[in-house]
């Protein structure tokens, strides 16, 4: 193709000099084609005159009428108020800045045509500073049949200017100079308009269009662009996956005796779901290509055991396994489990965190490097350059979403010896909504442990205002007197651990004053590991009845006799975190309760979130709701990868498209692979930076 719009410099357009080009560059507008993709954020309907009587608050509309009065009001701010009347009603135009000449011009009997936003003012409907012109009785009617686009701007760029530039770009658009990368077959199959049609329409929709549909982003022209963008995104993930799968990985022949021996020493047998997922993992390990598998399962579904079974199989084949957790506490918990499970089987489990120093560190390093330790548990310290594995073949990553894609890649490199990639098993503590799984994790295969071990009782959740704190305290008292145990969890908005600990200390003192007969313990992140372990052991043994804690107990606590949890200020936490916390109760035979003791008054979003917690204990539903209320960036806890920043698409709004997008992306991959790279550079110009493709 000769001279596509993507090769035409924006400075070729009328009215773009060096200074203007610099401003446009701030909006990433460099070529004529970039302007075509610079889509309006909304539209104004200036195509018809709306009778004043039909206006609604918030409308932007053209009105016409006769001036029936004009005066200066003193009030809080001096303003000029002009009354405008048409046969259906009247309203006021209000000017805070005005000249004497202007007042004179707005005399009784003059006809005006105005445009502006309808507000509720002190006199009823008002328009502040309308655009207006004085018109004659014979004024020709409005002519345009097109809606007026409102574009995103930057400093020094006006709507008029950007409109003129976009219009110039549209004038240059022909059937041949904007490359269509979605073949006819695909467009027909998924009923997508052509790119040119979609773009022309979105810059200047006809006035008869359904404006509500356009506002909701569900017009076919908008779908077309979201579709293409989501496809580009999928394609980059497919590419990444295909690339990873091209590498070799060690082949694990079968489950073997070690995993059987592991199971034999457990007091329970695996659930059907655990067995199925372990089977899926074994299949991956048996291909000779690196496994890239995400295991999702609700709190308490038993992901650790699945990880341990996978580890056993790889160790049996003669290789090393690394297990990485995002926090010390979680890593410690895994370390305890893995040593308990594997040391009796004659294996060595090594330990590595940033805090480990001196001789102890040297010892562990030695075991990792020499290969004496078959299993290594740790935090992200495992990524450090100084750490060399002898024969790493499986990396297990718990709670993936707190790690970035980059970190995952870094661990991958640790195993790159003699051309072998380590297998990757990623476990998420919180279920990932399907929408996100399909976009952020499309490079991974996915297994779901959709069954809880037997004997769990659902937790009854109650939402209570802190005005009823005393009642809640008495409830704790009677539960403990009946021999049950309880948690009292303190939260703070600030990430500051010091403040959190302080809040928990204060709460513990206050509760002890009121509940002097109870044995109360306190645990928070600033205690030494040994102190923490002692208190937890005493709670587990039943010596402590009420445990006051910060959110450190979110993970790693398993006390089946604890059947009551009070969470203070739950409105400050994300739903996923609340769900995790609540998962600490409901582990035994007695009915469990969770009291969400919120600080009144609660905003609309807060209400909605807490009632979600009350209504469901399904981690997947909770995650969906969290996504809806807080957005993907918040949920995944890292915006830095840019994975969910789209130009046109919106994951939540467009989630119904995802299945089709996936099909279309796969089709394109197989049939028109030459279209992939241009699609990626159109939509993800920086993709190589974060996707490693
Ligand atoms: P999560 O999926 O939240 O990481 P864990 O792996 O920590 O869950 O398991 C939660 C608890 O359930 C642990 O105490 C574990 O020993 C226990 N558990 C795991 N699998 C089973 C099973 N099949 N039957 C009974 N208890 C199990
Ligand atoms: Mg876990």
- For residue 617, what pLDDT band results from cuts at 50, 70 and 90? confident
Burial of 229 (0-12, 13-18, 19+ CB in 10 A): buried
Spatial separation of the C-alpha atoms in residues 370 and 377, rounded to whole Å: 16
Looking at the chain, the whole-number percentage of residues with pLDDT higher than 70 is: 92
Residue 115: how many other CB atoms lie within 10 Å = 17
Do 48-135 and 459-616 come out as alike in CATH topology? no
Ligand 1 atom closest to Cα of residue 455: 25
Contact 105, 135 (CB under 8 A): no
Q: Is the CB of 559 under 6 A from ligand 1?
A: no
Three-state secondary-structure class, residue 80 = strand
Burial of 90 (0-12, 13-18, 19+ CB in 10 A): middle
Best residue among 269, 427, 453 to mutate for probing ligand 1, ranked by most atoms within 8 Å of CB: 453
Spatial separation of the C-alpha atoms in residues 26 and 154, rounded to whole Å: 7
Segment 181-235, tens digit of pLDDT: 999 999 999 999 999 999 999 999 998 888 888 888 889 999 999 999 999 988 9
Q: Is the CB of 301 under 6 A from ligand 1?
A: yes
Using the predicted structure, report yes or no on whether residue 522 has a pLDDT greater than 50.
Answer: yes
Using the predicted structure, report yes or no on whether residue 681 has a pLDDT greater than 80.
Answer: yes
Q: Give the closest ligand to the alpha carbon of residue 560.
A: 1
Provide mean pLDDT across the span 422-448.
81
Q: Is the CB of 275 under 6 A from ligand 1?
A: no
What is the 532 CA–ligand 2 centroid distance (Å)? Answer: 19
- For residue 434, what pLDDT band results from cuts at 50, 70 and 90? confident
Residue 377: how many other CB atoms lie within 10 Å = 27
Per-domain residue ranges of the chain = 5-43+148-209, 48-135, 256-449, 459-616
Average pLDDT, the chain: 87
What is the 304 CA–ligand 1 centroid distance (Å)? Answer: 7
Note the pLDDT of residue 638.
45
Which stretch of 170-174, 236-240, 421-425 has the lowest confidence by average pLDDT? 236-240
Interhelix angle 195-203/220-246, rounded to 10 degrees, is 130
- For residue 554, what pLDDT band results from cuts at 50, 70 and 90? low
Which stretches does DSSP call E strand in 561-645? 562-568, 592-598
Using the predicted structure, report yes or no on whether residue 544 has a pLDDT greater than 90.
Answer: yes
Best residue among 271, 303, 304 to mutate for probing ligand 1, ranked by most atoms within 8 Å of CB: 304
The CA-CA-CA angle for residues 212, 217, 218, to 5°, reads 80
| Atom 18 (ligand 1) nearest CA | 302
Which stretch of 53-57, 382-386, 508-512, 668-672 has the lowest confidence by average pLDDT? 382-386
Using the predicted structure, report yes or no on whether residue 664 has a pLDDT greater than 50.
Answer: yes
pLDDT winner (highest mean) among 246-255, 524-533, 568-577, 662-671: 662-671
| β partners of residue 397 | 324, 426
Interhelix angle 676-683/220-246, rounded to 10 degrees, is 120
Ligand 1 atom closest to Cα of residue 299: 3
What is the 331 CA–ligand 1 centroid distance (Å)? Answer: 16
Q: Where are the alpha helices (DSSP H) in 9-158?
A: 18-26, 32-36, 100-105
Examine residue 601 and say whether the peptide bond preceding it is cis (omega within 30 degrees of 0): yes
| Atom 5 (ligand 1) nearest CA | 302
Segment 121-151, tens digit of pLDDT: 877 899 999 999 999 888 887 778 889 999 9
Ligand 1 atom closest to Cα of residue 271: 23
| Atom 15 (ligand 1) nearest CA | 302
Segment 320-364, tens digit of pLDDT: 999 998 877 778 889 999 999 999 999 999 999 988 889 999 999
| Atom 20 (ligand 1) nearest CA | 302
Q: Is the CB of 270 under 6 A from ligand 1?
A: yes
- For residue 279, what pLDDT band results from cuts at 50, 70 and 90? very high
What is the 398 CA–ligand 2 centroid distance (Å)? Answer: 7
Note the pLDDT of residue 536.
86
Spatial separation of the C-alpha atoms in residues 438 and 661, rounded to whole Å: 10
Segment 52-108, tens digit of pLDDT: 999 999 889 999 999 999 999 988 889 999 999 999 999 999 999 999 998 999 999
Provide mean pLDDT across the span 103-124.
91
pLDDT winner (highest mean) among 228-242, 270-284, 392-406, 433-447: 270-284
What is the 101 CA–ligand 1 centroid distance (Å)? Answer: 80
The CATH superfamily of 256-449 is: P-loop containing nucleotide triphosphate hydrolases (3.40.50.300)
Residue 611 to residues 77, 431, 567, 608, 631, Cα–Cα distance (Å):
44, 19, 14, 5, 18
| Atom 4 (ligand 1) nearest CA | 303
Task: Mention every residue, 6+ apart, whose C-beta is less than 8 A from residue 653.
Answer: 216, 217, 218
Among residues 190, 180, 184, 239, the alpha carbon closest in space to that of 664 is found at: 190
Using the predicted structure, report yes or no on whether residue 690 has a pLDDT greater than 50.
Answer: no
What is the 303 CA–ligand 2 centroid distance (Å)? Answer: 6
Q: Is the dihedral of CA 13, 18, 23, 25 positive or negative?
A: positive
Which stretch of 399-403, 460-464, 518-522, 558-562 has the lowest confidence by average pLDDT? 399-403
Using the predicted structure, report yes or no on whether residue 319 has a pLDDT greater than 90.
Answer: yes
Contact 149, 163 (CB under 8 A): yes
The CA-CA-CA angle for residues 626, 630, 633, to 5°, reads 105
**What are the tokens at 148?**
């007026």
| Atom 11 (ligand 1) nearest CA | 300
Q: Is the CB of 325 under 6 A from ligand 1?
A: no
Task: Provide CATH code, domain 459-616.
Answer: 3.40.50.300
Spatial separation of the C-alpha atoms in residues 22 and 34, rounded to whole Å: 14
Contact 227, 661 (CB under 8 A): yes
What is the 407 CA–ligand 1 centroid distance (Å)? Answer: 27
| β partners of residue 420 | 248, 417
Using the predicted structure, report yes or no on whether residue 488 has a pLDDT greater than 90.
Answer: yes
Q: Where are the alpha helices (DSSP H) in 303-445?
A: 303-316, 328-342, 358-370, 405-414, 434-440
- For residue 256, what pLDDT band results from cuts at 50, 70 and 90? confident
Which stretch of 1-5, 7-11, 604-608, 611-615 has the lowest confidence by average pLDDT? 1-5
What pTM was estimated for this model as a whole? 0.73
What is the 304 CA–ligand 2 centroid distance (Å)? Answer: 6
Task: Mention every residue, 6+ apart, whose C-beta is less than 8 A from residue 493.
Answer: 572
What is the 400 CA–ligand 2 centroid distance (Å)? Answer: 11
Number of H helices, E strands in the chain: 24, 22
Best residue among 305, 560, 562 to mutate for probing ligand 1, ranked by most atoms within 8 Å of CB: 305
User: pLDDT higher for 647 or 417?
Assistant: 647
| Atom 14 (ligand 1) nearest CA | 558
Among residues 257, 241, 214, the alpha carbon closest in space to that of 346 is found at: 257
Among residues 182, 170, 175, the alpha carbon closest in space to that of 230 is found at: 182
Using the predicted structure, report yes or no on whether residue 436 has a pLDDT greater than 80.
Answer: no
Torsion, Cα of 669, 674, 680, 681 (10° steps): 180
Spatial separation of the C-alpha atoms in residues 643 and 436, rounded to whole Å: 10
Among residues 72, 37, 51, the alpha carbon closest in space to that of 229 is found at: 37
Among residues 576, 581, 575, the alpha carbon closest in space to that of 553 is found at: 581
- For residue 693, what pLDDT band results from cuts at 50, 70 and 90? very low
| Atom 23 (ligand 1) nearest CA | 270
The CATH superfamily of 48-135 is: Nucleic acid-binding proteins (2.40.50.140)
Among residues 192, 142, 146, the alpha carbon closest in space to that of 167 is found at: 146
Segment 158-178, tens digit of pLDDT: 999 999 999 999 999 999 999
């Amino acid at each position: 193709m000769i001279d596509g719009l993507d090769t035409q410099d924006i400075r070729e357009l009328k009215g773009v000099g060096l200074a203007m080009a610099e401003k446009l560059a701030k909006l990433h507008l460099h070529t004529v084609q970039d302007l075509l993709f610079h889509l309006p954020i909304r539209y104004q309907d200036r195509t018809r005159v709306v009778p004043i009587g039909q206006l609604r608050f918030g409308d932007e509309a053209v009105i016409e009428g006769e001036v029936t009065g004009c005066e200066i009001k003193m009030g809080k701010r001096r303003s000029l108020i002009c009354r405008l009347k048409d046969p259906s009603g009247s309203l006021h135009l209000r000017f805070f800045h005005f000249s004497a000449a202007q007042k004179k011009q707005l005399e009784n009997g003059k006809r005006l045509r105005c445009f502006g936003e309808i507000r509720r003012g002190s006199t009823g409907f008002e328009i502040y500073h309308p655009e207006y012109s004085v018109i004659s009785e014979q004024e020709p009617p409005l002519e345009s049949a097109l809606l007026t686009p409102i574009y995103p701007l930057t400093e020094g760029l006006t709507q008029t200017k950007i409109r003129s530039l976009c219009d110039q770009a549209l004038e240059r658009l022909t059937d041949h100079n904007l490359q269509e990368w979605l073949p006819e077959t695909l467009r027909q199959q998924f009923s997508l308009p052509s790119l040119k049609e979609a773009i022309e329409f979105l810059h200047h929709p006809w006035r008869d269009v359904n404006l509500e549909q356009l506002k909701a982003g569900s017009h076919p022209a908008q779908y077309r662009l979201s579709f293409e963008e989501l496809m580009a995104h999928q394609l980059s993930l497919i590419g990444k996956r295909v690339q990873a799968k091209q590498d070799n990985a060690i082949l694990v022949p079968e489950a073997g005796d070690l995993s059987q021996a592991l199971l034999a020493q457990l007091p329970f047998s695996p659930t059907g779901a655990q067995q199925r997922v372990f089977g899926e993992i074994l299949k991956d390990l048996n291909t000779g290509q690196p496994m890239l598998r995400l295991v999702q399962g609700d709190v308490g579904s038993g992901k650790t055991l699945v990880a341990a079974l996978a580890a056993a199989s790889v160790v049996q084949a003669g290789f090393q396994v690394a297990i990485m957790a995002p926090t010390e506490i979680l890593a410690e918990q895994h370390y305890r489990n893995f040593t308990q499970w594997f040391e009796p089987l004659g294996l060595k489990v090594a330990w590595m965190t940033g805090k480990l120093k001196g001789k102890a560190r040297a010892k562990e390093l030695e075991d990792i490097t020499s290969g004496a330790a078959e299993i290594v548990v740790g935090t992200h310290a495992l990524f450090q350059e100084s750490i060399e594995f002898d024969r790493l073949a499986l990396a297990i990553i718990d709670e993936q979403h707190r790690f970035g894609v980059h970190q995952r890649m870094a661990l991958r490199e640790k195993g790159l010896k003699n051309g072998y990639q380590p297998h990757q098993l990623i476990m998420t503590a919180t279920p990932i909504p399907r929408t996100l799984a399909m976009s952020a994790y499309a490079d991974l295969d996915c297994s779901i442990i959709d069954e809880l071990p037997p004997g769990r009782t659902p937790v009854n959740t109650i939402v209570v205002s802190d005005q009823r704190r005393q009642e809640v305290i008495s409830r704790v008292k009677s539960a403990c007197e009946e021999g049950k145990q309880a948690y009292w969890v303190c939260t703070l908005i600030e990430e500051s651990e010091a403040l959190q600990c302080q809040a928990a200390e204060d709460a513990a003192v206050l509760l002890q004053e009121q509940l002097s007969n109870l044995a109360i313990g306190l645990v928070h992140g600033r205690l030494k590991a040994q102190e923490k372990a002692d208190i937890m052991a005493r709670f587990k043994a039943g010596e402590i009845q009420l445990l006051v804690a910060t959110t450190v107990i979110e993970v790693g606590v398993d006390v089946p006799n604890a059947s009551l949890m009070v969470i203070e200020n739950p409105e400050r936490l994300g739903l996923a975190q609340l769900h995790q916390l609540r998962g600490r109760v409901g582990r035994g035979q007695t009915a469990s309760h969770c009291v969400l003791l919120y600080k009144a008054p609660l905003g609309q979003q807060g209400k909605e979130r807490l009632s979600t917690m009350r209504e469901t204990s399904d981690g997947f539903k909770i995650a969906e709701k969290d996504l809806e209320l807080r957005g993907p960036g918040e949920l995944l806890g890292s915006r830095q990868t840019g994975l969910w920043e789209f130009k046109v698409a919106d994951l939540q709004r467009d989630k119904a498209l995802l299945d089709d997008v996936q099909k279309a992306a796969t089709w394109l991959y197989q049939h028109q692979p030459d279209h992939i790279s241009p699609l990626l550079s159109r939509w993800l110009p920086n993709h190589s930076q974060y996707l490693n493709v």
